[in-house]
Structure 1
Amino acid sequence: MKIGSIKQICLPIIILFLIFLAASPATSAQPLVVDYMDIDVDINNGYVITTVEEKLTNQMDDAVFDDFSIFLPEEAFISGFSIIIDGEEYKSSVLPKEEASEKFEEATSEGKTAGLLETEDRNRFAYALSFEPHQSIVVRLTYEQALKKALGEYEYTQFLRSDHDVNNLSVNISISSVNKILSLDTPGFTGANVEYLSITDGQVTYNADSLPDSDLTVVFTTNNPPLTGDILFYEIDDQGYMMHVFSPTEEDLGTTALSKDIIFVIDKSGSMRGVKIDQVKRVFTNIIYGLPSNDRFNVIFFDGYVHTYSNQLMQVNSSTKKKSIEFVNELDADGSTNINDALVTALRMFENESENVPIIVFLTDGEPTAGVTSPYMIRENIKETNTAEVSIFTIAFGIDQESYYDFLKGMSLENYGKAERFYLADDSEEGIGDFYQTISTPLITDMKFTYSGQVLEKNGKSSYNGQVSEIVNTGKNNLFAGSDAIVLGKYRPGTHTVTSMVEATTRTGKQDFTGQVTVISKEENAFIPRLWAYTTINDLMNRIEVEGETEELVSSVTDLSLEFGFVTPYTSLFVEIPDATTTDEVEKMVSDEMEPVDEACVEAEIPTEEVDSEAAEEALPGFEIIYSIVGMMAVACLLLRRRN
């Protein structure tokens, strides 16, 4: 499937630029430098808005084309892009994907300069520009994400990478929290300045005349909210938005974590041979060794067949841990991949009446190739077998193909869990181990959140008709030690108080957590509407992973994306540079400086990388990061200069 095509383009210079943009590598002699890269990050109660601004300069005496990349976190998405040429800023607009494509086709067919930014690649925002001799262009990009608290910490990583030399780098990261900041650090990174501005505010700055050798990771911790949680409010345009942070600790609850029934289901097929299986053995040896004595566990390896350590769940003790670790380290990688039978076998070992929290940790590196190989049938079989409501947490190890990862992600989501992707690298063992730690200590389960609002009427009387609606929850049903559940919703302006009620199960049984707070809308909470939209879109996209692209779900994602200005798989950014110069004038300018182009080139299709159309159709859309094609900037520079 091609990314796109531009047909019937009348100007030869435009055709040549588009072909270069799609197919050519960047100029190799480093004619362009990044005069400065300014990165400004605002972290407000875990919601992050990052703005990256670069000034790019052509050092050569000749006009040049070049392309650039900005790396982003996988969970982030772009909300703004603009370029500044000769002091004039051109901002992009978020449009439905088809409308943006139509506008782009229309603009280019009329000889106008335009750019189309669409969802394509993870982790990289790429764009291409054309520069006149010694010309400078400023590029500004904004993206947003929500941090997840894990093991009591918030972690943010700022990528510090570029395809070109950077002469001046400035990073400013501001952290604000409704709770007291206990610690703020940049582990493994030297040269950054960490400063505590107040009891609830901190700042990390870094300045250099070149890019460092590593990315900048910021880790901070805060005081926990009270037992019933913190509730923040913000009102805008006759609409109220609420954020409830619920994060009790074992100390708050006066009890210890829940015991769990856990089965490790590990792929040992031929593709796991070598470094992968060696890393897996070391990781799971450490995990099994650290299991608490109140848990029950089992280990299952699979290739084309299923290899179980025991036919049933075993109580954790020194003997069962020692023997199961020996079982892990004796197996070699070989054979095909029978995902269906391995997971069905594991699920049948759980007891519906058990009071322990049921968990499967499932690791695989590839597609199903034995037994039932249809991803749809595997998901159906797993869902039907999972009568004990087992949470399946999937480790996708070294999986690059999106359709396979989407299959694993969808299967995990519809079975009370989630999937995380890990690549084969020096730190993959640590990453997998950390992922397990985040889900190894269930503190609360079966959580249910309800809210009621009390409204003061004009006669001074109060009534409970301030219902909180359109609620979305990041924590789902379970809460693990060191994490938090964030619940967002809308309320009616004029609501005086909101009562929160959380029903949940802890080690001591059923508990209710009820609190009442006065509604006070504060300006520092202006991020809440965007966090609500971000979280709601993520929730809808997860439903699409499970239910497919229904008209209702796609429409909801599109409408919210347009309302809040987010780029998703169903929206695109479109930028157009106004052009008052006539086609005849442009043709004359071009003919003065370029060789004639054969008329056969007037109808052209951009050569792009081929993508498997069947795989693309099967892949359910993820909330992936943007790969952007900003085309046609060559004409803009030429037109603006010539017109002046």
Structure 2
Amino acid sequence: SCTQWWCFLYKCLLAVLVFSDDWDIYSFHINSTVTSRYATTVITSRVANRMNESKEIEFHVRIPKNAFISKFRMFINGQVYDGVVKAKEQAQKQYTEAVSRGESAGLVSSVGRTLEEFRTSVTVAAHKKVTFELTYEELMKRMHGKYELQIHARPMQPVRDFKVTVDVYIHEEAGISFIDSFSIYQESKELNSFCLQAWIYFYPTADQQKTCDSCGEQGMNGDLVIVYDVNRDNGLGHIMKSAGYFVHHFAPSNLPRIPKNVVFLIDQSVSMHGKKIQQTRTALIHILNDLAEDDHFGLITFDGNIFHWKQELVQANSKNLESAKKFARNIQDRGSTNINQAVLQGASMLNVHHREGSASILILLTDGDPTSGETNLEKIQSNVKQAIAGKFPLYCLGFGFDVNFEFLEKMSLQNNGVARRIYEDSDADLQLKGFYEEVATPLLTDVTMIYVGGTNLTQTNFSQYYNGSEIVVAGQITDNDIETFIPEVSNRRVIFSNTNDSVESTGTVADDRIQRVWAHLTVKQLLDEQLRLSGPKKEKVKKEILELSLKYSFVTPLTSMVVTKPPGENTDVLHKPKEGETQRQWSSVSPSGSRKHTASRTRSGSQSGE
């Protein structure tokens, strides 16, 4: 094991406390235990009311968007008040009934760029204290060849005993390949370490909380970021098992890149006016500079009409790239939005340009709803699915908050891709370039994960595997019989296999961590699947999501956490929103029945801290 300042990071920890001068936050701790890229994080804050009368004190934290809250409790005067995860309809009913009885009640809902918010408040007697404790869980995602931990430290007041304590127990036979840290206190530095376990701690003094570049008299206001990766090879990857469950991390290194065929579909409708179109032009020119000479590409811009730079894909040689960059610099906003025709034209270009041993990719950037041509969303999705026919992925980038993100998300998921929201701020061009870099280097296509002796598996077929990413599969081992459990990864070019000595046992039957990884990943993938479906199939998947969420106490878009408080106090309902909701707010209802909005987020409004 090793102990160093910033020795290791494995978790996206993000915490914010909001208070008035009447509150005193005198203890704040974050404790995270991470094993096999799965983190369970506990945020504990002890707050005192130093007034001579009762005071309402608020607990407000921001957590990673991909995390599920699994536990919340308050300690007041020796009593413990626990939150309970319920089906969203039941939680809403409890909230509504409290309001109808004239009782105080609250409803929580928030969504941001990379974070979601948890808020609750409680009335604390004069010179008394309350302890808040929130637990959330997350499976880390590898991007750009690394995992990233971001600590957003903004208590906005020097805290006498401010501690971020992260206890990390990592069992990685491969070891840690690199660690970098970037903080508000020091320049970034590389920490070379090959330890299998690490204890990470951060204890800034009250003076330190006021003296960093972005700090002030109100305390810390900045990010602490640590990035790392583990050693990798060209083999089967790393498989861990416990109590009849397994999780498989597959990210082979040193594979030769596959030439790609990529078509960019750029919305140039009038709603892209100004900063959006400028940032798109900038990003597109950067992306064109990154194309390899054995890549082939095409550009289509669209408003109410379709404009081809070339009628077919061409090689990314210097002459064609200069011509394409000139075309990109002249993109101007105008007209309406014909998404249907643009995507069909892009799919057609890729379909007629099939190259053996290459990977095809279709990327759509738009900021609005379809307003010309075919405008029925379901019809567009059907047309696109038929045109692509599972032959390549469609990635949809939704620019800004006015875009119909659910429509783009469903269309991407139906075609083996993902949707990503691009936030309209100063770094939007970097966001676009960053997304492209995730898919810039395909290494494998048509990847199939096979597990003889495995059952209840998460997703096992992947259209493409990109450099810097990772494929993760979890499931159950039939009858917990490791001797008959045989994993294998195959595609058209290569087969990855190994003997059972590549499967590592992580603990006793009492260790349910691997099981929770399986549950977490299963729920995440089922949430995506239910977006693609309709009718009875959709309802069946939603039922499965609900059952797993309740069993493992996950706050998901189908569940809420009801926070029961002392008699006479609020009953809060924490609601996990979905990406693209148009209204995100925290409202409270007083005993008189009047509604007070203590915080509000709308699609057109700004979002602090995002």
TM-score class, shorter = 0.7 to 0.9
Deviations 1:487-539 (A, max 9, x none): 1110122432421121113xxxx222222215653229742111111111111
Q: Name the residue aligned to 1:337.
A: 337
1:48 corresponds to: 39
- 2:90 maps to a residue whose letter is E
Q: Say if 1:341 and 1:371, in contact at 8 Å, map to a contact too.
A: yes
**Matching of residue 515 in structure 1 with residue 498 in structure 2:** yes
Residues of 1 paired with 2:42 and 2:387: CA distance?
A: 47
Deviation at 1:201, TM superposition (A): 2.6
Could you tell me how far apart the structure 1 residues matched to 2:562 and 2:153 are? 26
More displaced stretch, 490-499 vs 297-306? 490-499
Alignment of 1:365-444 (within 5 A): 365-387=367-389, 389-399=391-401, 404-444=404-444
Contact kept in structure 2, 1:234 and 1:528, CA below 8 Å: yes
Amino acid at match of 2:251: S
Partner residue in 1 for 2:6 = none
AA aligned to 1:555 is K
1:169-191 deviation digits (Å, cap 9, x = unpaired): 21133442512112222225425
Cα 1:198–1:86 change in 2 (3 A) is: farther
CA distance in 2, matches of 1:195, 1:314: 44
Q: TM-score w.r.t. structure 2 length?
A: 0.81
User: What per-residue deviation string (whole Å, max 9, x for no partner) do you get for residues 106-158 of structure 1?
Assistant: 66777988x77766545111212222222221111111112111222111222
Q: How far is 1:546 from its partner?
A: 0.9
Once residues 171 and 305 of structure 1 are traced to their aligned partners in structure 2, the CA distance between those partners, rounded to angstroms, is 54
**Kept in 1: contact 2:19–2:58 (CA 8 A):** no
Higher normalized contact order (CA 8 Å, seq sep 6+, divided by chain length): 1
Amino acid at match of 1:201: Q
Measured in 2, the distance between the counterparts of 1:199 and 1:480 equals 27
The correspondence for 2:198, drawn from 197, 202, 212, is 202
1:472 matched residue in structure 2:
458
Deviates most, 308-317 or 475-484: 475-484
Structure 1 residue identity aligned to 2:386? E
Q: How many Å apart are 1:572 and its aligned residue?
A: 1.8
1:105 Cα offset (Å): 5.3
Would the alpha carbon gap of residues 474 and 81 (structure 1) be closer, same or farther in structure 2, given more than 3 Å must change? farther
Q: How does 1:127-138 map to 2 (within 5 A)?
A: 127-138=120-131
Q: TM-score, normalised by structure 1?
A: 0.77
* Partner amino acid, structure 2, of 1:207: Y
Whole-angstrom distance in 2 between the partners of 1:117 and 1:498: 46
Cα deviation digits, residues 361-393 of structure 1 (max 9, x gap): 211122222222222121111111113622111
Equivalent residues of 1:120, 1:626 under 8 A apart:
yes
Contact 1:118 1:573 in 2 (8 A): no
- Secondary structure at 1:425 match in 2: coil
1:563 paired to 2:565? no
Pairing 1:116-265 to 2, within 5 Å after superposition = 121-122=111-112, 123-162=116-155, 166-175=159-168, 176-178=170-172, 179-190=174-185, 199-208=195-204, 209=206, 210=209, 211-225=219-233, 227-235=235-243, 240-249=244-253, 251=254, 253=255, 256-265=256-265
Query: CA separation of 1:195/1:296 partners in 2, compared to 1, >3 Å: closer, same or farther?
Result: closer
Distance (whole Å) between structure 2 residues aligned to residue 143 and residue 56 of structure 1: 20
Q: What one-letter code is carried by the residue in structure 2 that aligns with 1:43?
A: V
1:345 Cα deviation after fit: 1.0
Which amino acid in the other structure matches residue 471 of structure 2? A
Q: Counterpart amino acid of 1:565?
A: S
Contact 2:144 2:469 (C-alpha < 8 Å) held by counterparts:
yes
Distance 1:181 1:623, change over 3 A: farther
| Unmatched tracts of structure 2, length 5 or more | 1-16, 210-218, 593-610
Which residue, 38, 47, 62 being the options, matches 1:71? 62
Matches within 5 A, 1:289-368: 289-351=289-351, 353-355=354-356, 356-368=358-370
Paired with 2:457 and 2:224, the residues of 1 have a C-alpha distance of: 34
Question: Which residue is equivalent to 1:616?
Answer: none
Letter in 2 for 1:241: Y
Aligned AA (1:129): V
1:96 maps onto 2:87 in alignment: yes
Give 1:485 shift.
Answer: 0.9
The CA distance in 1 between the partners of 2:591 and 2:160, in whole Å, is 24
2:417 partner letter: G
| Distance in 2, Cα, partners of 1:526 & 1:446 | 32
* Counterpart-to-counterpart distance in 1, 2:581 and 2:460: 15
Equivalent position amino acid for 1:394 in 2: C
2:182 counterpart SS class? coil
CA distance in 2, matches of 1:266, 1:325: 14
Q: Aligned partners of 2:171, 2:151: CA distance in 1, in Å? A: 19
Q: Is the 2:155–2:221 contact (alpha carbons within 8 Å) kept by the matching residues of 1?
A: no
Q: Percent identity?
A: 27
Corresponding residue SS for 1:182:
strand
Distance 2:533 2:378 in 1: 11
Contact 2:70 2:135 survives alignment (8 Å): yes
Alignment CA distance shift 1:102-1:424 (3 Å): closer
Shift of residue 622, structure 1, vs aligned partner: 8.1
User: Structure 2 residue aligned with 1:540, among 506, 515, 526?
Assistant: 526
Q: Distance in 1 between matches of 2:194 and 2:496?
A: 31
What runs of 5+ residues in structure 1 fail to find an aligned partner? 1-25, 453-466, 580-585, 591-605, 609-618, 635-644
- Looking at structure 2, the residues matched to 132 and 578 of structure 1 have their Cα atoms a distance apart, in angstroms, of 12
Q: C-alpha separation between the residues in 2 aligned to 1:125 and 1:265?
A: 37
Number of the residue aligned with 1:487? 473
For the 8 Å contact 2:165–2:201, the answer to whether it is kept is yes
* Matched length: 545
Match of 2:604 in 1: none
Once the 2 structures are TM-superposed, how far is the Cα of residue 333 of structure 1 from its aligned partner? Answer: 1.6
Report the equivalent of 1:529. 515
Structure 2 residue identity aligned to 1:287: I
CA contact (8 A) 2:27 2:159 kept: yes
**TM-aligned CA distance change 1:481 to 1:140, over 3 Å:** same
Provide the rounded CA distance (Å) in 1 between the counterparts of 2:376 and 2:332: 26
For the 8 Å contact 1:292–1:316, the answer to whether it is kept is yes
* Rounded Cα–Cα distance in structure 2 between residues aligned with 1:200 and 1:627: 43
Cα distance in 2 for partners of 1:334, 1:291 equals 28
The residue matched to 2:406 in structure 1 has which SS?
helix
Shift of 1:168: 3.6
Q: Which string of whole-angstrom CA distances, capped at 9 and with x for unpartnered residues, describes residues 604-644 of structure 1?
A: xx9x9xxxxxxxxxx9888999977788899xxxxxxxxxx
Q: Distance in 1 between matches of 2:247 and 2:422?
A: 31
CA contact (8 A) 2:239 2:504 kept: no
Q: Give the match for residue 611 of structure 1.
A: none
Cα distance, 1:483 vs structure 2: 1.6
Deviation (angstroms), 1:34: 2.0
State the AA in 2 paired with 1:496: E
With over 3 angstroms needed to count, the CA separation of the structure-2 counterparts of 1:73 and 1:259, relative to structure 1, is same
1:527-578 deviations in whole A, cap 9, x for unaligned? 2111111111111110111114722111100000011110112222123347
Larger radius of gyration: 1
What is the alpha-carbon distance in structure 2 between the residues aligned to residue 425 and residue 444 of structure 1? 34
Of stretches 82-91 and 472-481 in structure 1, the one that deviates more from structure 2 is: 472-481
More displaced 10-residue stretch of structure 1: 165-174 or 342-351: 165-174
1:193-249 deviations in whole A, cap 9, x for unaligned? Answer: 9988862233443223344331222201210155112211010xxxx1011111112
Task: Compute the RMSD of aligned alpha carbons.
Answer: 3.3
Quote the Cα distance in structure 1 between the aligned partners of 2:184 and 2:85: 36
Q: Distance in 1 between matches of 2:31 and 2:581?
A: 23
* Amino acid of the structure 1 residue aligned with 2:355: S
Which amino acid counterpart does residue 66 of structure 2 have in structure 1? Answer: E
Q: Distance in 2 between matches of 1:532 and 1:632?
A: 41
Q: Distance in 2 between matches of 1:539 and 1:152?
A: 22
